[in-house]
Structure 1
């Protein structure tokens, strides 16, 4: 409450009469807005879903090793995982912006459970082959597209704007812990019980995620569409839905392509994703089995990968402080370049401990970069466009990943695994340096939407 002039004079007289000076109130740190219970429930659903992702992501290649040692066929699993982003990312973005984001995520989880149930039946009935395994992973990837875009677009709806860095950090931490730190080792353990467990257990986790969203996140999360401007070429209501969808896809792509900050980030991210996918699509052949360079048994491979999650968790815990102390652009570029550079270690030192240290650093830096870029997008894109822009950015960002996976397998079969690894390192380092050459921090600050 502000003091009047009479009150200030009275206080001054009182102080001079008593010979004491009124003590100044100590500075107080403003209280941070709570993230809230709906976010906690959404985070729990993300954890369950990503635990299933970890089991399938690590378990499927290990199951494939029992069917083939062909690098090309193994790489097809990675291609099948990411191909849906290329084919459906834009459509999923439109769907997320047209529907309740919570409901879309729930439906995707239920569809995932059904897909995995079919895969489990194939194992139990003895009909599993590489072709069927690739098909199951492809269908699983389709559910991932809708679930992931809906989850990302839901975060700004349920947390305060001031806590986006913290919320995204927690989401990525839970994703990494569940996906790699917990899911990977569980995949190695359940594989010993039978391949059916690798698919059946994630099916149950997907059902649990859907129930948690249903019970814990209440309300309508369908975004309000902004009215079109007079110059917009908006189809009439009577025209076919496909034309409306095409118009909405164009909106998301146009916003992304014209944006001075998001465009270079997507270009760099797309190239890095292609390089990383080529690298890790065949990495299991470098690490697992008596014919491999590292010679790890299948049960130890997930444990080594868990170092990635440890680094990711640490990165998620410190990213808010780092971004507070340093410019976002410097943090982002440093994180991306470091992630790319450390991938030379497994080539030069094919030792489990050295590779685990590499994965720790990669997880740490990747999480910091992902949190910063996701928070930028959420602050720079209007809510009514967020789903479409997220879909467009992931279509472009993930679209080259199946290409990278196939190239990795073909190059590995033709010229060896090291040719894939060195090419991936060179391309990813070059791509990581690109944003630093075209962006400035003042451009990022100017692009942020204001309340």
Structure 2
């Protein structure tokens, strides 16, 4: 508790944390409302799968934003993206009131809003090492993920209830207001730009740089971020995460039908967030920096896959929600471990592009998962798709277990701190 109180004395961290909380509350309302509206207007999991496909496509090209994230002033970027999302979300209630709201309009808005969202996460994660000392990074990541998934837990459930109580159009009005609040909070940030001597410049110098000069450096900086992904440990973990995210996309596409109503759908989304936050909170207590990273990932996703399979077979809605939520708990632990790994070993000047590259490549298969899962569920049913997703995640764990390098991956505290620097400069 004392460590937590101390970290909140840091004004910039507190502002980033509060902004993260409000932004994720807005994201929760948006995703619950948009996916339910698409399912309600289209009447099929095919349309929810298509919506998920279009929404997750921007994540694939997130690595292209990395050099810009490293260069652009953090406060200006965060404020601009949040204000733009707030204004775009107002189109939904306006369209409903004026009679031009359609599934096509929703499917157009979803990927646009998703593109804006891709700047926020890597920018905030890249900002953490700038505002926190190294020894507080684990606690900072835990709190950030807790804010993320904690707001998801509360507002996913509340979003489902509000759809039934006030209607999905009114939910979008509340959602837009949350993004306006987030923009105001971020406008008070005072994070200074970090100076670098390896190809990037300070933000003051960036203001003077010519467009032609910037574009010459952009390709090299982009390559530097992608090169980090070729580090042997990261490459192996990302290969498995690609398949896991494919299964996650398929799973998300069938939840509105599997939930059988907005309240149960909201409950499933909330249980997913609760499971994730419990894993996040447990991560520091488990001393993840002392655990062998490969074995941690193997055990975590084996448990996750088995619980998803069990969830697909139960008939009680409440038991299904509990099993589904616990299945996301191991992912919360590995998320913190992954973030600390990257933030500890990657040079600060590379942080934005590396975070964007990892997020982009880890989500590469998710759009296909959304599309295929939604389409197949129209023939096989949502329970069968959930069972297959659980089996797929278990297979990834078995693959990691059979791979000697992944299985013998050392703990974070025993990894060579110069490992990624040698990879970048080689």
TM-score by length of 2: 0.87
Supply the distance in 1 between the matched residues of 2:378 and 2:17 (Cα, whole angstroms). 41
Give the equivalent residue in structure 1 for 2:369. Answer: 404
Supply the distance in 2 between the matched residues of 1:47 and 1:227 (Cα, whole angstroms). 34
Give the equivalent residue in structure 1 for 2:87. Answer: 114
Corresponding position: 1:425 with 2:410: no
**Aligned-residue offset at 1:342:** 0.9
Aligned residue for 2:7, secondary structure, equals coil
Give the equivalent residue in structure 1 for 2:54. Answer: 80
Tell me if the contact between 2:49 and 2:374 (Cα under 8 Å) persists in the aligned partners: yes
Give the equivalent residue in structure 2 for 1:224. Answer: 195
Which blocks of at least 5 consecutive residues in structure 1 are unaligned?
Answer: 1-28, 230-235, 289-296
Distance 1:141 1:360, change over 3 A: same
**Aligned-residue offset at 1:281:** 0.8
2:256 aligns with one of 284, 302, 314: 284
> Could you give the per-residue CA deviations for residues 250-278 of structure 1, whole angstroms, max 9, x where no partner exists?
11111212x12222222221210111111
Supply the distance in 2 between the matched residues of 1:30 and 1:344 (Cα, whole angstroms). 39
* CA-based RMSD: 2.7
Asked which structure has the greater CA Rg, the reply is 1
1:323 aligns with one of 273, 277, 287: 287
**Aligned-residue offset at 1:190:** 4.4
Give the equivalent residue in structure 1 for 2:27. Answer: 53
Matches within 5 A, 1:44-443: 44-87=18-61, 89-215=62-188, 217-220=189-192, 222-228=193-199, 239=212, 241-257=214-230, 259-288=231-260, 297-323=261-287, 326-329=290-293, 330-436=295-401, 437=403, 438-439=405-406, 440-442=408-410
> Could you give the per-residue CA deviations for residues 232-254 of structure 1, whole angstroms, max 9, x where no partner exists?
xxxx9885644432222111111
Give the equivalent residue in structure 1 for 2:205. Answer: none
> Could you give the per-residue CA deviations for residues 337-388 of structure 1, whole angstroms, max 9, x where no partner exists?
2222210122211321221211331232111111111111111211111111
Distance 1:434 1:181, change over 3 A: farther
Distance 1:385 1:326, change over 3 A: closer
* Bigger share in helix: 2
Deviates more, 1:246-255 or 1:331-340: 331-340
Supply the distance in 2 between the matched residues of 1:39 and 1:312 (Cα, whole angstroms). 22
Distance 1:446 1:185, change over 3 A: same
TM-score by length of 1: 0.83
Corresponding position: 1:40 with 2:14: yes
Aligned length: 405
**Aligned-residue offset at 1:138:** 1.0
Distance 1:191 1:360, change over 3 A: same
Which blocks of at least 5 consecutive residues in structure 2 are unaligned?
Answer: 201-208, 422-426
Runs of 4+ in 1 over 6 A off after TM superposition: 29-33
Tell me if the contact between 1:39 and 1:155 (Cα under 8 Å) persists in the aligned partners: yes
Tell me if the contact between 1:86 and 1:396 (Cα under 8 Å) persists in the aligned partners: yes
